[in-house]
Amino acid sequence: MSKQADVGDSFPAVTLTGADGEPMSVDDYAGKPLVVFFYPKDDTPGCTTENKDFSELAPQFAEAGMALLGVSKDPPAKHAKFAAKYGLVAPLASDAETGGLSDALGIWVEKSMYGRTYMGMERTTYLVDGAGKIARVWRKVKVKGHAAEVLEAARNL
């Protein structure tokens, strides 16, 4: 497992795949502050709530000059279906590759449930400044009120 990226570190410029199947990278947002929220799985209760909350606040994030990007290991077609089902407006990206962005950030971690261990996404959000540096990190996110808390921090960046 790699070391977790932290405040002051450069955000890794790892290529992801957008919901449209096209390659994308945080470099595409160069010069613009960005919120990148990582979540475990499309169309599960907590992840759906988190995505809906960020989408609902998307206009306020835009007013604050902030771009949004949601990332999970789900494939692009699943992201597209998930976004359409719930009217999500925050762009979604797939980090399906081993050695991808979540690995580089140290948030693809060993988890345990019902006595079974497995690899999974640690729900984490990064606030990245316009210079590509991590300005704030939320680890092991609790979904309720999270998007609003991130918006407040984004406004103060």
Instruction: Give the pLDDT of residue 26.
Output: 83
40 among known catalytic residues: no
What digits encode the pLDDT tens for the residues 122-151?
999 999 999 999 999 999 999 999 999 999
Identified catalytic residue from 19, 26, 34, 47:
47
What pLDDT, on the 0 to 100 scale, is given for residue 113?
86
Whether residue 1 has pLDDT greater than 60: no
Kindly report the CATH number that applies to the domain delimited by 16-155.
3.40.30.10
Q: What is the pLDDT of residue 2?
A: 55
Q: Are 124 and 139 in contact (CB under 8 A)?
A: yes
- pLDDT at residue 3, as a whole number: 78
What is the per-residue pLDDT across 7-56, written as a single tens digit (0 to 9) for each? 999 999 899 999 999 999 888 998 899 999 999 999 999 999 999 999 99
Query: Residue 16's pLDDT is what?
Result: 95
Q: Domain limits of the chain?
A: 16-155
- Per-residue HEC secondary structure of the chain comes to CCCCCCCCCECCCCCEEECCCCEECHHHHCCCCEEEEECCCCCCHHHHHHHHHHHHCHHHHHHCCCEEEEEECCCHHHHHHHHHHHCCCCCEEECCCCCCHHHHHCCEEEEEECCEEEEEECCEEEEECCCCEEEEEECCCCCCCHHHHHHHHHHCC
Instruction: For residue range 53-110, list pLDDT tens digits in order.
Output: 999 999 999 999 999 999 999 999 999 999 999 999 999 999 977 889 999 999 999 9
Prediction pTM value = 0.93
